Structure 1
Amino acid sequence: MAASQLQLPPDYYLTHFRDLLAVLHSRYHSVLLPKHLQLIEKFQQLPLTAQRLWVRLLNRKGLVFALKDVEYDEVPDQAAAVAMLFHAGLLDRPSTAEDLADWLQRANKEHLLELVTLAGGELDPVLPVLKKASTKPQIQQYIEQHQLLTPGSIQLWSEQHGELVALRAQTELQYLYFLYFGRFETSLTAFTLRDLGILPGSGFKQEFQARYTDRDQALAAFAYARLKPQLQTLQQGWKSLDLLAQEAALRQWQQQMLAWPEPLDDRTRLQREALCTALGRLTEKLLTHVSGDVVLIDDAHRQRAALTQLAIGFYQQSASYPASERLLRLFYANRTDPQMAQAMQQQLQQMLDNPSCDDELWFARDFASRKLQQKPTSDLTDFLRSAATITLDELYLGQTERGAVQYFKQQGYQAFHAENELWLGLFGLLLWQPLFESEQSAIYNEFERRPRDLTSGEFYQRQQALIEQQIALLDDPAVAVKQLLKTYSAQFQKANAVFSWHPDLAAMLPLLVHGAPAGTLSKIIRQMAQDFRRCSSGFPDLLLARESAAGTPEIQLVELKAVGDSLRRNQLTRLMSLREFGFAVSLMQVQWWQSPDRVYVVIDVETTGGKAENDRITDIAAYKVQYGEIIDEFSSLVNPQRRIPYFIQKLTGITNEMVASAPLFSEIAAKLSEFIGDSIFVAHNVNFDYGFVRAELGRCGYPLQLPKFCTVVQMRRAYPGLASYSLGKLAQHFEIPLHNHHRAAADARATVELLKLIQAKTLVGVVLQD
């Protein structure tokens, strides 16, 4: 049965809320404050109908509701239920700033305009006229600017449109959700998705321990969990604030930091550091806008100095990378100040002597050599310059790794697109038991698919003996491979958030385990266990293997960089670290080659509308092109099995009568699929035509997955500066015959001529879309 057809029982929401309370009472009683216990007691003492109504409201979006919009069959006497919830303090009239902001955000345009009329009539002097054509955001801004939304005005509005109620005890409720989910949540949506079959449970464990047993630790963790969405709101609205408002917001956060609780576990400490680093980055964004003609206090120079100190203050609240990198860069940028110069030296020495991670160490080394020892190029530049070059067929543009795999297979290698998934798969399968099945595994409910302590050092600290026991298997590659494949078979396709079931994982693992330098995999897995957050990404793109004279695999790791790609810091760190471990690691630049015998299929379709999932093709034409010449063609009207809209009939000239006797698409699908073959799919605005052809072929059981070539995009690149790149205007400009525009055969034939023009202008480097 489809999820949308599944009928949930009337007390579905209430049942799961009660289940949640039972879990909290049994596992988390020791970390609940009196106000949390009082909330649970108040709820449990409510009559059934009041419980039903409150839980239904909790599972809706927002805080403020019109009672006429929340009528439920299982709550026959809504007025009585509301009265009981008011008496218990679980509902109230909208009055707080948070209530008003919620109503303002979710009200429709009509309701906002009515509020303006009601509130404006009470004010003197007369407000500026609000334009009738104002958008919803403009009306919201008008209401805020003139302070029209107040408890009084919202009450006036509700008297005309029905009673409004606002949820209460939200902070206490959020804490209960946090204890269960381990993150900031506002509803029990996970239970709904589970019961609809959209989000199955992990199935790793049946018995779960409490996430927190220390109350202060739990409260501190909750405090930081609440701060994260607040910061995200600031980041999302950052560009809409002027410079003064941006600085005021940052200063407010600076003051709030004084009241932040002390983190009492590694995970919370990392959350605090992430908040501080994000605030530092926002401050640096503001700093870049402060110039000589922007004076926010006395002068721009003093303002820059003040903001620099603010950014430094935020970064100094974090003891690790990347905040350490930002600190060093700020000190260096202001090194003419003796104090800043001294701070730079101290910061750099700290990063070199006691780095928090490999990324920090490699950055500090590179910084010292370039900035202080005046080395002309960075390690990154040197590494890029050392790269060999391989030439791939342009057919694989947008699919670089796939093309490289084919290239190396032709050279006699076993070749795989491995990237992070190979190493994550090794880590996940080798440590499956401590990750997912151990009593100490930090999985605290049925929805979690990754241990909650994996991103901190606690995972290794808590289960060091078991982890080391599994790592020791790598001392004997044959034993390790046997165990890895056994776990692979037993757990295959079990959903988890550590690694994915890469289709080549079972083939790659034996090659890696047998071919890695002795002892290195143990070190890498240990690093991942100790610092998964930083050590689980940046691995090379390809795994190559050849059999040695001794019969064991010789492996190489290859990072690919095509034109326009960049090498990120974590990728450079991983490559350098793997090289130091003794792996054969290569960076390879990719250049593209255009095969002279490439076959293109140039296609145009006419349709009943613009959406491939709903509309259908009425006319299709395809020309097969090689060496710049048409070598084959295909065209047909198509019966779309629906009426063609009148305006499309006027545009294309294709009438319902013309297609009535035309074949259905299913009748031409096999021939068309064979005609297209494995050519490059060319069209003018290719995504439109490709989307329709793929959808139509897919309905008939013929999958389509080809490189795409867009003549709109390529004409803009090959012939920049034209007034228009529509097919009609291009045909006119280049004197291409187009006598029956908006019929598939004529448009496709004109597109063939555009393809020739593009190929004549540039023989290499044509960009295909993935």
Structure 2
Amino acid sequence: MDIQVDRNAVEPSSSSPSPLYYLLNFERALAWVSERYDDLLDAIEREFASAFARLPLASRALLVRMLMRNGPRFRTSKLNYAEIGCPLAAAAPLIALGWIDAEPHLSIDDLFALATRPELERIFSEAVALRRCSKSELRELLRAEYGAQTRPYRAWDATSDEQVFELEITPVCDRVRLMFFGNLHQSWSEFVLADLGVYRYEAVSLEPSARAFQRRSDVDAYLALQACREALEGIDGVDGIAALRELFGAVLGMPIDNAWLEMRRAKLFYRIGYRAEQMRNWEFALEVYERSQWPEARHRRMRVLERCARFGDAFALVTRALEAPENEAEYQRAARMMPRLARRLGQAVQRAAKPAGFARSTLTLMRPAVPVAVEYVVQDHLDAPQAPVFYVENTLINSLFGLLCWEAVFEPVPGSFFHPFQRGPADLHAPDFLARRAETFARCFAQLDSGAYHDTIWRHYERKAGMQSPFVFWGALTSSLMTLALDCLPARHLKLWFARLVSDIRANRSGLPDLIRFWPTDRRYELIEVKGPGDRLQDNQIRWLAYCAQHGMPARVLDVRWEGEAEAEVDGDGGIDGSSDRAVAGVTTPDAGVTP
């Protein structure tokens, strides 16, 4: 039997939701996890759910309030909520259970996170008398004086009559949160934003068995990978390589038998390899990259081999990438490296076929008196009643795709939706995302041939307004922009853009030109990528521009120069395979449009 998402859990029931809406939603999530993950819960987690239900209302509410805030330490004076009352009374049952530590020992850093500057000056008045320094300088002084000492809050501030609470139950609640959301980047505040109407989610029919994890070991592996990722952020300095090697060994030794988690591990390997590159330990970087199946790892190996002067190995790897590229980005980068490596090896330079040339022109303007983004300066200069110009960048084409293909994106394919707070399917970037929804996408795309797409896009624009989507940028859409777009953009161009977008969502959702200009009378348009002095085209922008040129779509680069100022140099990317985008530019043409 399907379970239909309770829309009351994600939409406000009135303009003034219950003061305890956050608690009600947390209890829904806890019941959801208890029901769907019963076979994955251990005794500690089951006892948490059972004990939580037996707590007084105020105690349950206080715990959820603390879980939803940045912690894990809180001053009692900052825990005043009308619906809870006295935080000391509400906390007493939580302290008895060991879920809150009522007297945690605090370091200088912990104290600085809790106290204000005036309070710190009062607490340490003798130690820092007459010193004029910033809060960070004051912290350094006190670190030097007190070292690693830790004390209860009242031992630091004997004049205070308040307490500091520290959450001890967070690891259990984080595991519950992970099982509910299927990730750790969503927090319990998601409930608040939904109940207040800030976020709205598509209601997707979910099977009772729908869940992100099938085994407890998968949850353990996710948490272990997350801990290693956080540890990586703190690795630097002289002992960094030793710490990196230890971290690499820990990640390598994790028992993972899950394709989704294996890809997370591959990305972590990639991050470790990149940090080794930054530390200029080329051999270790190669060792790590060779273990990673992350899409960009092979390109990093090419770069590192060249750094190591292993030109033959780099040439062989680049050759394989050109023969069977992982994606357009890898082919583009490999093609740029090949001539340089061939010259190093004394071989004939065989350049890859150049992408279709795209238009490029120059516009000289007065530099604005007040600093403003160059895209807006150009928009204002070009905009005219008969040819309005909009700053859209990646928003318009993505949004039109998302509105046309709404049913395909939110199709409840097994393994794609687990809970009612998903912005999009969990497998959005999976290699088989399109294949698993091929029939539905085909029906959506067929509307571009029949003309039915106008009605579908408008229907979703009106009925789904404000609803979370991985493609639709509601804030950028207006009815006037939509009208112009649907009148002036040919269906065959929309179909080509959408096909490229869905073929590699991770790579192709960005890189689209900044501006779009319409000629409503002629029902034509032009895409314009704006580059200020010294700015250069990014690789994904070059790929989109070349694609448009290949298919006869009007798109060009507009280089802006400030009147009376010397032309700035266009820098490369600073890397070993950096190159100026000017070598890729095509023929300069006047304003161009297209008539459908």
CA distance in 1, matches of 2:61, 2:531: 58
Task: State whether structure 2 residue 430 is matched by structure 1 residue 429.
Answer: no
CA distance in 2, matches of 1:478, 1:265: 40
Shift of 1:430: 2.4
| Structure 2 residue runs without a partner (length 5+) | 1-11, 566-596
1:269-314 deviations in whole A, cap 9, x for unaligned?
5544443434434333333xxxxxxxxxxxxxxxxxxx22233334
Task: Flag the 1:186–1:526 CA change in 2: closer, same or farther, 3 A.
Answer: closer
Task: Flag the 1:393–1:69 CA change in 2: closer, same or farther, 3 A.
Answer: closer
Quote the residue 1:464 is aligned against: 438
Task: State whether structure 2 residue 23 is matched by structure 1 residue 14.
Answer: yes
Shift of 1:366: 1.6
Counterpart mapping for 1:435-474 below 5 A? 435-436=409-410, 438=412, 442-474=416-448
Task: State whether structure 2 residue 282 is matched by structure 1 residue 308.
Answer: yes
RMSD value, Cα: 4.6
Task: Flag the 1:478–1:425 CA change in 2: closer, same or farther, 3 A.
Answer: same
Task: Flag the 1:511–1:106 CA change in 2: closer, same or farther, 3 A.
Answer: same
Could you tell me which amino acid in structure 2 is paired with residue 193 of structure 1? L
**Structure 2 residue aligned with 1:343, among 302, 309, 313?**
313
Task: State whether structure 2 residue 511 is matched by structure 1 residue 538.
Answer: yes
Quote the residue 2:53 is aligned against: 44
Task: State whether structure 2 residue 258 is matched by structure 1 residue 264.
Answer: yes
| Structure 1 residue runs without a partner (length 5+) | 119-127, 288-306, 595-713, 715-770
**Structure 2 residue aligned with 1:389, among 361, 381, 384?**
361
Could you tell me which amino acid in structure 2 is paired with residue 316 of structure 1? E
Is contact 2:108–2:139 with CA below 8 Å preserved after alignment? no
Shift of 1:530: 4.2
CA distance in 2, matches of 1:205, 1:186: 18
DSSP-derived class of the 1:166 partner? strand
CA distance in 1, matches of 2:118, 2:365: 58
DSSP-derived class of the 2:559 partner? strand
Quote the residue 1:564 is aligned against: 534
Counterpart mapping for 1:363-382 below 5 A? 363-373=333-343
Could you tell me which amino acid in structure 2 is paired with residue 140 of structure 1? R
Could you tell me which amino acid in structure 2 is paired with residue 280 of structure 1? G
Task: State whether structure 2 residue 72 is matched by structure 1 residue 63.
Answer: yes
Task: Flag the 1:133–1:493 CA change in 2: closer, same or farther, 3 A.
Answer: closer
TM-score, normalised by the number of residues in structure 1: 0.59
Quote the residue 1:329 is aligned against: 303
Counterpart mapping for 1:584-733 below 5 A? 585-591=555-561
Is contact 2:527–2:555 with CA below 8 Å preserved after alignment? yes
Shift of 1:45: 3.1
Task: State whether structure 2 residue 332 is matched by structure 1 residue 362.
Answer: yes
Shift of 1:556: 5.8
Is contact 2:123–2:157 with CA below 8 Å preserved after alignment? no
Is contact 1:351–1:360 with CA below 8 Å preserved after alignment? yes
Quote the residue 2:168 is aligned against: 168
CA distance in 1, matches of 2:227, 2:438: 32
Quote the residue 1:512 is aligned against: 489
CA distance in 2, matches of 1:76, 1:442: 41
Could you tell me which amino acid in structure 2 is paired with residue 54 of structure 1? L
**Structure 2 residue aligned with 1:286, among 274, 279, 290?**
279
CA distance in 1, matches of 2:387, 2:21: 57
Quote the residue 1:105 is aligned against: 113
Task: Flag the 1:187–1:224 CA change in 2: closer, same or farther, 3 A.
Answer: same
369-378 vs 251-260, which deviates more?
Answer: 369-378
Is contact 2:104–2:152 with CA below 8 Å preserved after alignment? no
Shift of 1:201: 2.0
Quote the residue 1:201 is aligned against: 200
**Structure 2 residue aligned with 1:529, among 489, 502, 506?**
502
CA distance in 1, matches of 2:80, 2:458: 55
Could you tell me which amino acid in structure 2 is paired with residue 105 of structure 1? A
Task: Flag the 1:395–1:205 CA change in 2: closer, same or farther, 3 A.
Answer: farther
Q: Percent identity?
A: 22
1:306-335 deviations in whole A, cap 9, x for unaligned?
x22233334334334433333211211211
Is contact 1:277–1:315 with CA below 8 Å preserved after alignment? yes
CA distance in 2, matches of 1:7, 1:473: 42
Shift of 1:485: 4.5
DSSP-derived class of the 2:433 partner? helix
**Structure 2 residue aligned with 1:319, among 293, 297, 301?**
293
Quote the residue 1:628 is aligned against: none
DSSP-derived class of the 1:589 partner? strand
Task: Give the structure with the higher percent helix.
Answer: 1
Is contact 1:115–1:153 with CA below 8 Å preserved after alignment? no
TM-score, normalised by the number of residues in structure 2: 0.74
Shift of 1:364: 0.6
1:66-87 deviations in whole A, cap 9, x for unaligned?
4465466666676665453233
- Count, aligned residues: 540
Could you tell me which amino acid in structure 2 is paired with residue 315 of structure 1? Y
Shift of 1:190: 2.6
DSSP-derived class of the 2:74 partner? strand
Shift of 1:533: 0.9
Shift of 1:151: 5.0
Is contact 2:375–2:391 with CA below 8 Å preserved after alignment? no
CA distance in 2, matches of 1:508, 1:565: 28
Shift of 1:540: 3.1
Could you tell me which amino acid in structure 1 is paired with residue 299 of structure 2? E
Counterpart mapping for 1:386-425 below 5 A? 388-391=360-363, 393-394=365-366, 398-400=373-375, 403=378, 407=382, 419-425=393-399
Task: Flag the 1:228–1:472 CA change in 2: closer, same or farther, 3 A.
Answer: farther
CA distance in 1, matches of 2:355, 2:517: 20
DSSP-derived class of the 2:536 partner? coil
Larger radius of gyration: 1
Is contact 2:79–2:87 with CA below 8 Å preserved after alignment? no
